[in-house]
Amino acid sequence: MATHGLAKDLMHPSPSEERRRHKKKRLVQSPNSYFMDVKCIGCYRITTIFSHAHTVVACPGCTTILCTPGGGKCKLTARHEQKP
């Protein structure tokens, strides 16, 4: 059996190729959204924010805006620190 240059391993795709696929067409379905902990630089309070938030999220301690909606993923402002 001759292998051609067009042969592709469908059972073991590369991680970068798997990330580009639609969330329902991956080998293991997983969402594109996530929750992240953001620390306000002003009052050092940690707030959990959804990655695709549709509203402006303000710090509950000092009312500084932490993120704004961006038509998909929210845009984080400059006065924050993201925790992994």
Residue 53 covered by a domain: yes
Structural domain range at position 49? 33-83
Residue 20 covered by a domain: no
Please report the pLDDT score of residue 25 as a whole number. Answer: 80
Please report the pLDDT score of residue 42 as a whole number. Answer: 83
Residue 47 covered by a domain: yes
- What 3 state SS string does 25-83 have? CCCCCCCCCCEEEEEECCCCCEEEEECCCCCCEECCCCCCEEEECCCCCCEECCCEEEE
Domain count, the chain: 1
Query: Tens-of-pLDDT digits for all 84 residues of the chain?
Result: 555 666 777 777 787 887 778 878 877 777 888 999 998 888 889 999 999 999 999 999 888 899 999 888 899 887 666 665
Residue 21 covered by a domain: no
Residue 43 covered by a domain: yes
CATH number (domain holding residue 42): 2.20.25.100
